[in-house]
A and B are shown apart, each in its own frame.
Chain A
Amino acid sequence: MTGRIIRIAGPVVEADRMRGALMYEVVHVGGGALIGEVIGLSEDVATIQVYEDTTGLAPGEPVERTGAPLSVELGPGLLGMVYDGIQRPLQVIREEMGVFIVRGASFPALDRKRTYIFTPEAAPGAAATPGTVIGTVQEGRFTHSVLIPHGMEGTIASVAGAGEYTVTEEIATILSTDGKELPVTMLRRWPVRVTRPVAEKLKPGAPLITGQRVIDSFFPIVKGGTAAVPGPFGAGKTVVQHQLAKWSDADIIVYVGCGERGNELADVLRQFPALTDPKSGEPLMERTVLIGNTSNMPVAAREASVYTGITIAEYYRDMGYDVALMADSTSRWAEAMREISGRLEEMPGEHGYPAYLASRLACFYERAGHVRVLGPSGKAGSVSVIGAVSPPGGDFSEPVTQNTLRVVRVFWALDADLAHERHFPAVNWLTSYSLYPDAVERWWNEHVGDQWGEMRRSMMAILQKESELEEIVQLVGPDVLPEDDKLSLHIAEYIRESFLVQYAFDPVDTFCAPDKQYMMMQLITDYACYGKAAVAGGMQVSVIAALSVAKRLLRLGAIPDADFREYFEETERRMKDAFQNPGGEST
């Protein structure tokens, strides 16, 4: 099982005497046992991508096969961890090896010494099918179900009693259909490039509430949905991803920092332990798994990082949780593919990307979904995937953006011009879209109010109108517009400035609850309605704009959720008065 290096070119190494090696098998490269993966085979020569810096490797050094594909460890203890692209625990590496990353670090992803209190649930003799709950352990505030692993079928022979166990201790044995007795531990492995199976895919469910108005109310995503956030540098991709990781109402967050800045991970690590999940009141870090393979870390491990992330997401989904995965940025993943492909001297496709770019992207996003999990529980769970895309020069016609758009159902197009004027989130309201609003509208009708769909459509229509009118203004100036068009421009400004602008760093406005979003929409659409009637009755838009109640609509975001209903009612009342009796309003 030992090969020999014959060529080293950056992260790609070739070795001979490798006949029998498997595609995607993990190998240990060189005397320092660097971790690598077989990505090509030709006769007895294997091409290997190495997950660590290859400086210092020489031809002739050994390559050891492991016989296993690149896999992650799954079990209790993943939450709160920070891993590199191949699931090495970065905090442990720091404690053991210092602040700079050195090569050849080898520490298990899950702590072998830590114990968990196990509560058995299955009884010996019961049927064992994949997904059957053997028992549970408490992982922070989450009930972590220990399931019969995929590929095991038969009857449960024994189950450990209630008590404390480490992840490697046996907690059950299964008598397989072919008569073998198989030990089961809490720890298991799963090959990252293989989708974990489910019973069935379900239709899109409830919205993933993010507390970001432009998302929830204009371009919503659902639990189990897919979204892409493309934008030039500085447009706000990372802030959107961080906002979703902080505030979205998923149970568990997997955040993949894929080829981006070290300080952005430091930022998450600085903020998350101190912030609380609005749903549970517990520290955000306790529901989060961070995968950080920053831009200066080895490029092959960057390529693996998104797979590591999504496999962990699927693992928690299989227990019936709603998991959301953010990948910032999928373009860096695609570039890692391109870099490796270039070293392999493969025939390049568009912009030098390998021809399989589209299929890799599609397969990745296909791992999202709202599903019924395997096993007798019949539970639903979901993985939502939100991928940032970093198009070169901000040009959305490039291959990564285009191939992503073919598979995702929500598109939040970030716009440099909006970012430059500090309109954040810089989501362009004309080009962005969501293919989920119908599914989501039912939820709003049931949970918040039945005007959501209508208000949303009318607000979006006003913005559309604004952009048409702006073209006219560009040609002939603003003063020739009739009053009702001027009113549209006036309302559009309120929609943009009061509703769509939402600063992430504002302690109140960083998260906006659905009912507050709804009331804000109501205030603006009611104002538009009154205004329309008033204009029809001969009132000038400049007079409407000068009403003192109009100013009450300016800083809606800054009013805390708790005070909002009162503010809303008072404003509605004043609005009614002002429009019924325009002269009587004190300004």
Chain B
Amino acid sequence: MTSPAREYTSVVRVAGPLMAVSGVGDATYGEVVEIRLPDGEKRMGEVLESRSDLAIVQVFGGTQALDTEITSVRFTGYPMRMVVSPDIIGRVFDGSGAPTDGGGPVIPGTVMDIAGSAVNPTARAYPEDCIETGISAIDGMNTLVRGQKLPIFSGAGLPHSMLAAQIARQARVLRDHEEFAIVFGAMGITNEDAQFFLDEFGDTGALEHAVLFINRADDPAIERIITPRLALTTAEYLAFDRGMHVLVILQDITSYCEALREVSAARDEVPARRGYPGYMYTDLASIFERAGRIYGRDGSITQLPIISMPDDDITHPVPDLTGYITEGQIVLSRDLHRRGIYPPIDVLPSLSRLMAGGIGENKTRKDHGAVSDQLYAAYAKGRRLESLVTVIGDEGLSESDRRYLTFATRFEREYIGQGRAGGRTITESLDAAWDLLSLFPEEELNRIPTDLIETYRGGESE
């Protein structure tokens, strides 16, 4: 219901990121408000709750310097929207969508509601086009496909930005040269991280294909609630209206969730775990489910959200709920990082749920799935033996056990730790896997069908 704009100066309460405006009988739920502060500054807000005599508004610019006397609030009658046009590509905005690149506003095109609408599940085309990232731990064992949402679970000080940028730079779809774009949505990232991406995109020429929305660590926290939605609305426009293949990098979802928690606390809501609101799963789903492909539309949205795990704890509510929504996760390991292995991907807790549909005969290679399963089984066994050896020493180990120990070490150094430069093709990744698997006699490769062993196993076992 769009009502005409109405203006009030009846702010009666300001608390945390929220304010209450009395005497407003007809504020619509989700409506945008424009707030004019005593000093003339303008901010945006959104109606979180509307009652017959009161509206509760979250203020995106933060509530500092608001008052309950002069501050005026204009109800616009519209939900939060943004303007998109082909012209948006190559632009840089702040976290609330204001240009920061010196360019003017986006040339008016389509106006879109930033909350988006749920895709009818029967209209979803199942993602099955494999993206080659050049990174063996991903391509070989956790294959990314176009339209997938695959987060990177990381920790403070780990090279997630470098990895995300590397994927953005190297990603390539086998047998395909369609138009692509990168949308970067940053929530609460440091100036250095922001600069890293700007430089990276600038150096590689990616900026010409990119749209950036950057909310920095010192920007208003509450604004982070809209930043990913601006990024995804842009992505949906580019993908489903303009037919482009869009890679969306969102960093850092944990800062986003902290903003959600702040709003929830200000409303005195009953929290679920660790103070985060009970609806955080639903809220995160409204972001992550905006990835995918749609029947009859050419483009796609692939999401690469970055989640920093507080205290490296994968059971923390943010990575936990994320893992329940996304189609797998790439987990970075502090231990591998300390040992100088790049990319420090711990494959055991990593997963790509869409891998099975994107690989195999006619897509990558017939042995792909089985090789991956075997690498997992052998590496898990090697790691188990490593921890056994630290307790009891290696005297009692059998010949076979020793092979697994050697395998685990070489696997981390050679297969995972491929280094920063360049990338491997999928075939190269699979061949590298067979190099390592040739450590084992055939009967220990029990996750691989015998005919595939015969076809693909190159070297002889010792």
Q: Is there contact, CB below 8 Å, between B282 and A295?
A: yes
In whole angstroms, how far apart are the Cα atoms of A59 and B3 in the complex?
12
A169-177, A334-342, A438-446 - the one binding chain B: A334-342
A-chain residues with CB within 8 Å of residue B316 when the two chains form the complex: 393
The answer to whether A270 and B28 touch (CB under 8 A), given A261-B325, A263-B327, is: no
* Interchain CB contact under 8 A, A55 and B377: no
The answer to whether B376 has its CB under 8 Å from any CB of chain A is yes
Chain B window 274-291, contacts with chain A (Cβ cutoff 8 Å), 1 for yes, 0 for no: 000011011001100110
Q: Which residues of A contact B373 (CB under 8 A)?
A: 422, 503
**Residue-wise interface mask of B (302-334) relative to A, using a CB-CB cutoff of 8 A (1 in contact, 0 not):** 000000000000011100110111011100000
Which segment, of A4-12, A63-71, A205-213, A571-579, faces chain B?
A: A4-12
Question: A477, B393: Cβ atoms under 8 Å?
Answer: yes
A99 and B120 contacting across the interface, CB-CB below 8 Å:
yes
Contacting residue for A478 out of B315, B398, B450, CB 8 A: B398
- A339 lies within 8 A of B289 (CB): no
Kindly supply a per-residue 1/0 record for chain B positions 371-386, scoring 1 wherever the CB is within 8 Å of any chain A CB and 0 otherwise.
0010011001100000
Do A295 and B281 touch across chains, with their CB atoms under 8 A apart?
A: yes
Interface residues of A in 406-454 (CB under 8 A from B): 416, 419-423
The answer on a CB contact under 8 Å between B380 and A478 is no
Q: Which parts of B100-130 form the interface with A (CB within 8 Å)?
A: 115, 117-127
B443-461 contact mask (Cβ, 8 Å, vs A): 1 or 0: 1001101100000000000
Interface positions of B from 116 to 148, Cβ below 8 Å from A: 117-127, 147
Report yes or no: A395 in contact with B121, Cβ–Cβ below 8 A: no
Q: A234-B328, A352-B270 are in contact. Are A59 and B122 (CB under 8 A)?
A: no
Say whether A473 faces chain B, with CB atoms less than 8 Å apart: yes
Q: How far is the CA of A216 from the CA of B281 in the complex (A)?
A: 34
Judge if B422 is at the interface, Cβ distance under 8 Å: no
Report B-chain residues with C-beta under 8 Å of the C-beta of A581.
Answer: none
Task: Decide if B14 is an interface residue (CB 8 Å cutoff).
Answer: no
The answer to whether B270 and A55 touch across the interface, beta carbons within 8 angstroms, is no
Cβ of B156 < 8 Å from any Cβ of A?
A: no
Contact A57 B1 (CB under 8 A): yes
Asked whether A392 lies within 8 Å of B320 as measured between CB atoms, the reply is: yes
Out of A31, A61, A269, A421, which one reaches B380, CB within 8 Å?
A421
Per-position 1/0 for A384-396, Cβ under 8 A of B = 0000001011110
Residue contact A90 to B28, C-beta cutoff 8 Å: no
B115 & A58 in contact (Cβ 8 Å cutoff): no
A393-B315, A393-B320, A503-B373 known; A58+B27 contact, CB < 8 A = yes
Closest Cβ of chain A to B198, distance in Å, is 31
**B290 neighbours in A (Cβ, 8 Å):** 296
A233 with B323: CB separation less than 8 A: yes
Given contacts A59-B25, A339-B278, is CB(A7)–CB(B289) below 8 Å? no
A270's closest neighbor in chain B, by CB? B126
B317: chain A residues at CB < 8 Å are 392-393
Q: Is A39 an interface residue (CB 8 A)?
A: no
A125 within 8 A of B: no
Residues of A within 8 A of B31 (CB): 56
CA distance A32 to B25 in the complex (A): 19
**A57→B369 contact, CB < 8 A:** no
Q: Does A126 count as interface, using CB distance less than 8 angstroms?
A: no
> In the complex, which residues of chain A have a beta carbon less than 8 angstroms from the beta carbon of B117?
100-102
Q: Given the interface contacts A102-B117, A295-B281, A335-B278, does A266 sit within 8 Å of B50 by beta carbon?
A: no
The distance in angstroms between the C-alpha atoms of A10 and B373, with both chains bound, is 44
Give bound CA distance, A6 to B447, whole Å.
62
Known A7-B51, A102-B117; contact A266-B392, beta-carbon cutoff 8 A: no
Q: Which of A539-559 contact B (CB under 8 A)?
A: 551, 554-555, 558
Q: Within the complex, which residue of A56, A82, A233, A419 is in contact with B28, where a contact is CB–CB below 8 Å? A: A56
A101-B120, A234-B328 as given contacts; A56 in contact with B396, CB under 8 Å? no
Please report the total number of B residues contacting A with Cβ < 8 Å.
85
Q: How far is the CA of A56 from the CA of B117 in the complex (A)?
A: 14
Distance (whole angstroms) from the CB of B73 to the closest CB of chain A: 16
Q: Is the CB of B295 within 8 A of A478?
A: no
Contact B446 A555 (CB under 8 A): yes
CB-defined interface of A468-511 with B at 8 Å, one 1/0 digit per residue?
00000111111110000000000000000110010101000000
B28–A55 touching, CB < 8 Å: yes
Q: Is B388 located at the chain interface by the 8 A CB criterion?
A: yes
Question: Could you tell me if A263 and B49 are in contact, using CB atoms closer than 8 angstroms?
Answer: no
Q: How far does the Cβ of A348 sit from chain B's closest Cβ, in whole Å?
A: 5
Which residues of A have CB within 8 Å of B25? 59-60
Contact assessment for B79 and A262 in the assembled complex, using a CB-CB cutoff below 8 Å:
no
Q: Which residues in A have their C-beta under 8 angstroms from that of B447?
A: 422, 501
B356 at the A interface (CB under 8 A): yes
The reply to whether B123 and A94 contact each other, CB–CB distance below 8 Å, is: yes
How many angstroms from the CA of A90 to the CA of B50 in the assembled complex? 31
Tell me whether A299 is interfacial, beta carbon within 8 Å. Answer: yes
Q: A99-B294, A342-B269 are in contact. Are A473 and B121 (CB under 8 A)?
A: no
A351: Cβ under 8 A from any B Cβ: yes
Judge if B354 is at the interface, Cβ distance under 8 Å: yes
Inter-chain contact A262/B443, CB cutoff 8 Å: no
B52 interface contact, C-beta 8 A: yes
* Of listed B115, B281, B380, residue having the most chain A CB within 10 A: B281
- Asked if A266 contacts B124 (CB within 8 A), the reply is yes
A458 within 8 A of partner (CB): no
Name the segment of B34-42, B186-194, B345-353, B406-414 touching the other chain. B345-353
Whether A106 sits at the interface, judged by CB under 8 Å, is no
| CA of A478 to CA of B398, assembled, Å | 9
Chain B residues with CB under 8 A of A156: none
| B323 smallest CB distance to A (angstroms) | 4
In Å, the complex CA distance between A110 and B286 comes to 30
Within 8 A of B (CB), among A322-343: 332, 335, 338-339, 342
- Residue from the list A58, A292, A299, A480 in contact with B121, Cβ < 8 A: A292
A-side contacts of B121, CB under 8 Å = 82, 90, 257, 262, 265-266, 269, 292, 294
Residue A91 is within 8 A (CB to CB) of chain B in the complex:
yes
**Distance, CA A270 to CA B295, complexed state (A):** 12
Tell me, yes or no, whether A267 is within 8 Å of chain B by CB: yes
**B397 located at the interface, meaning its Cβ lies under 8 Å from any Cβ of chain A in the complex:** yes
Residues in B neighbouring A53, C-beta threshold 8 A = 115
The complex places the Cα of A105 from the Cα of B338 at a distance, in Å, of: 55
Chain A neighbourhood of B272, CB < 8 A? 338, 351-352, 392
User: CB-CB < 8 A to A478: which residues of B?
Assistant: 396-398, 401
Interface centre among B122, B147, B373 (most CB of A within 10 A): B122
What separation, in Å, do the CA atoms of A335 and B147 have in the docked complex? 27
Give which listed residue, A55, A59, A262, A505, contacts B292 with CB less than 8 A.
A262
Q: Give a binary string over A45-62; 1 marks a CB under 8 Å from any B CB, 0 the rest.
A: 000000001111111110
The answer to whether B30 and A55 touch across the interface, beta carbons within 8 angstroms, is yes
Query: CB of A320 within 8 A of chain B?
Result: no
Q: Mark A291-322, 1 if CB is under 8 A from B, else 0.
A: 01011110100000000000000000000000
Contact A263 B292, beta carbon cutoff 8 Å: yes
**Given that A99-B123, A421-B376 are known contacts, is A6 also in contact with B327, CB under 8 Å in the complex?**
no
**Residue of A54, A261, A419 touching B29 (CB-CB under 8 A):** A54
Which 9 pairs, one residue from A and one from B, show the smallest C-beta to C-beta distance?
A: A421-B380, A393-B315, A295-B285, A477-B396, A479-B396, A55-B30, A296-B289, A99-B123, A233-B323
Ordered by A's residue number, 25 sampled pairs between the chains whose C-beta atoms are within 8 Å are A9-B48, A32-B1, A58-B27, A59-B26, A60-B52, A93-B120, A100-B120, A101-B120, A232-B323, A259-B282, A261-B325, A269-B121, A294-B118, A295-B281, A295-B285, A295-B289, A295-B325, A338-B278, A339-B282, A393-B316, A393-B317, A416-B349, A420-B348, A421-B381, A478-B397
Chain A: residues with CB nearer than 8 A to chain B? Answer: 6-10, 30-32, 53-61, 82, 90-91, 93-94, 98-102, 232-234, 257, 259, 261-263, 265-267, 269-270, 292, 294-297, 299, 332, 335, 338-339, 342, 348, 351-352, 390, 392-395, 416, 419-423, 473-480, 497-498, 501, 503, 505, 551, 554-555, 558
Can you name 10 extra interface pairs (CB under 8 A) apart from A59-B26, A269-B122?
A53-B115, A55-B79, A56-B1, A58-B3, A234-B329, A297-B118, A392-B272, A473-B388, A505-B369, A555-B450
